[in-house]
Amino acid sequence: MRRDESRQRNRESLMDAAVAEIAAKGYQAARLEDIAARADLTTGAIYSIFGSKRGLLLAASQRVIDGQVEAVVALADPELSLTGVLDGLAAYAHRLATADQSGIQVAFQLEALAVAFREPELMASIQAQDLTDAMTNLLTGRRIDASGAVTTPEQAERLRPAVESLMSGMSQQVALGIDDVSVEYIAESMRALTALIL
């Protein structure tokens, strides 16, 4: 295996280990030694690749955001109506919530947010501008109804926070076993948000 491939594999292993360890113990209690051991690597690898525990948290958080951006971009087909896009986002949220280890992912994301709230300079690093832009772009120019009207950038920006919040809240409810909702229910709830722009 080439050196850059080995470094990338180690990077992914350490992020996976950090997600699991931070989800289980919280950021403050998660020790670098335990994260490294979980990845079958040394703490030196963490410092070499990420520079610090904070660097590792940021990288793992960014990987989560990048995955969300990829899912949003996958729905970029210009032929999809607003309803089609919302149905696709509902399916994505449900898929995340019912995936293996979804509870670990939710716990990690909540812990990363808690850290960011305690450290304002970290908040700026974690804020998902890429996701915000991708979601706004996705919701812009979508056919709203049979009249041929399409969503304006202003309407997309108004709709975006509600869509993101519903996706996040519903997926957390399902992943944590609080509610067992179907993808159809999530889609129906998402479609109801169009009242915000009509």
Instruction: For residues 149 and 75, give the distance between their C-alpha atoms in angstroms, rounded to a whole number.
Output: 19
Task: Look at residue 179 and tell me whether its pLDDT is greater than 90.
Answer: no
pLDDT per position as a tens digit, 83-106 = 999 999 999 999 988 888 888 989
The total number of structural domains in the chain stands at: 1
Domain with 65, as residue range(s), is: 58-196
Is 100 part of a structural domain of the chain?
Answer: yes
Is 145 part of a structural domain of the chain?
Answer: yes
**What confidence score (pLDDT) does residue 28 get?**
94
Is 25 part of a structural domain of the chain?
Answer: no
Is 37 part of a structural domain of the chain?
Answer: no
**What confidence score (pLDDT) does residue 22 get?**
96
Confidence class of residue 128 from pLDDT cuts 50, 70 and 90? low
Q: What is the dihedral of CA 113, 69, 49, 112, to 10 degrees?
A: 10
Q: What is the CATH number of the domain that holds 117?
A: 1.10.357
Instruction: For residues 171 and 117, give the distance between their C-alpha atoms in angstroms, rounded to a whole number.
Output: 21
Task: Look at residue 56 and tell me whether its pLDDT is greater than 90.
Answer: yes
Instruction: For residues 79 and 27, give the distance between their C-alpha atoms in angstroms, rounded to a whole number.
Output: 43
φ/ψ (deg, to 5) at 103: -60, -35
Is 184 part of a structural domain of the chain?
Answer: yes
**What confidence score (pLDDT) does residue 131 get?**
80
Question: Which residue has better confidence, 73 or 140?
Answer: 140
Distance of CA 189 to the CA centre of its chain: 19
Is 103 part of a structural domain of the chain?
Answer: yes
Is 186 part of a structural domain of the chain?
Answer: yes
Instruction: For residues 163 and 189, give the distance between their C-alpha atoms in angstroms, rounded to a whole number.
Output: 9
Task: Look at residue 2 and tell me whether its pLDDT is greater than 90.
Answer: no
**What confidence score (pLDDT) does residue 125 get?**
67
As a whole number of Å, the CA-based R_g of the chain is: 19
Mean predicted confidence (pLDDT) in 169-185 = 86
Which of the residue ranges 29-38, 85-94, 113-122, 168-177 would you say has the lowest mean pLDDT? 113-122
pLDDT per position as a tens digit, 7-53 = 899 999 999 999 999 999 999 999 999 999 999 999 999 999 999 99
Confidence class of residue 127 from pLDDT cuts 50, 70 and 90? low
**What confidence score (pLDDT) does residue 194 get?**
94
Average pLDDT, whole number, for the chain?
90
Is 181 part of a structural domain of the chain?
Answer: yes
